[in-house]
Amino acid sequence: MPKIRVHDIDMYYEVHGAGDPVIFIRGLGSDSRGWAPQIPVFSQKYQVIVFDNRGAGLTDKPQTPYSTKLFAEDTLELMDRLEIEKAHFVGLSMGGAIAQLIGIHYPNRVKSLVLAATFAKMDTFGKNLLNFFKNLAMGGRRDYLVDGTLLWVYSHDFHEKRLVDLDRIKELMLTNPQPLYAYVRQNLACQEHDTLDQLSRITAPCLILVGKEDLLTPPEYSEILHKGIPQSELVVLERGGHGLFLEQTELVNQVILDFLAKHSSAS
């Protein structure tokens, strides 16, 4: 379980495979274990880097303010420590917000971006929903927070057909759980994220990916990103919610692989 010093924290990370580097960035309240369906597939052709964001998983969780800007700086410092000059980025939800900032402020470090189920800025509904989850965490109701997350992250069809054992997912979420104070800090970082007026500065090739049934970051958020980012393409999956990487694993993996192949020396 390797860790590396990144700014003021010890960050957990993993490296798999060889080839063009692809850095996967997780979202609010989750850690690198969530990339399990992607690692064996992408590492056949690429060098896959996964890590736990500040405040999650096995990475340190300081009781200081967090921001997507700080998460982006952590990611770049990890790249420096691993001697990675330039990479493809796959960001999910909050991870997509982090990837946007890297694309905006550090274009020379970016080969391409995949922004999945993410947002340039939360609207009133999105902020109200995040506040609801934040208040559950601040009230110490981890059980309600986990149950509520599962309800909002996965689509109706996914719940009805039990395509994956949701009890098992819940069990994993409660194994090495994120401290509630750290969840609150990540949550606030999402609420404060705003790149609306800077999207045109993203010059790297960009794939924007969202499920049609996403309740947390609905397709409208992705349409805003698509309109704002010059070299972007938008893919809306007919089925799948916010948890599209698990709900539509094979399809999502293939869509991203096809995109990377167009912008990679590994093709």
Question: Is pLDDT at 166 greater than 80 in this prediction?
Answer: no
**Predicted local distance difference test score (pLDDT) of residue 267:** 42
**Predicted local distance difference test score (pLDDT) of residue 70:** 99
* Residue 22 binned pLDDT confidence (cut-offs 50, 70, 90): very high
Question: Is pLDDT at 200 greater than 60 in this prediction?
Answer: yes
Coil, helix or strand at residue 61: coil
**Predicted local distance difference test score (pLDDT) of residue 60:** 97
Question: Is pLDDT at 184 greater than 60 in this prediction?
Answer: yes
Coil, helix or strand at residue 92: strand
Sheet of 21-25: strands edge to edge? 3-6, 9-16, 47-51, 21-25, 87-92, 110-116, 206-211, 232-237
Cα 217 to its chain centre, rounded Å, is 12
Cross-strand pairs, 211? 237
Crossing angle of helices 180-192 and 68-81, in 10° steps, is 100
Contacts of 30 (CB under 8 A, 6+ apart): 56
**Which helix (H) or strand (E) is 157 found in, with range?**
helix 156-161
Tens of pLDDT, residue by residue over 69-87, are 999 999 999 999 999 999 9
**Predicted local distance difference test score (pLDDT) of residue 266:** 47
Question: Is pLDDT at 17 greater than 80 in this prediction?
Answer: yes
In 2-145 the beta strands, taken as DSSP E runs, fall at: 3-6, 9-16, 21-25, 47-51, 87-92, 110-116
What percentage of the chain carries pLDDT values higher than 90?
80
* Residue 5 binned pLDDT confidence (cut-offs 50, 70, 90): very high
| HSE-up of residue 89 (Cα within 13 Å, Cβ side) | 36
**Predicted local distance difference test score (pLDDT) of residue 15:** 98
Place of tokens 């990890």: 78
For the chain, domains (ranges, CATH) are 3-262 (3.40.50.1820)
Tens of pLDDT, residue by residue over 90-136, are 999 999 999 999 999 999 999 999 999 999 999 999 999 999 999 98
Exposure pattern of 66-91 as b/e (b: 16+ CB <10 Å)?
bbbebbbbbbbbbbeebebeebbbbb
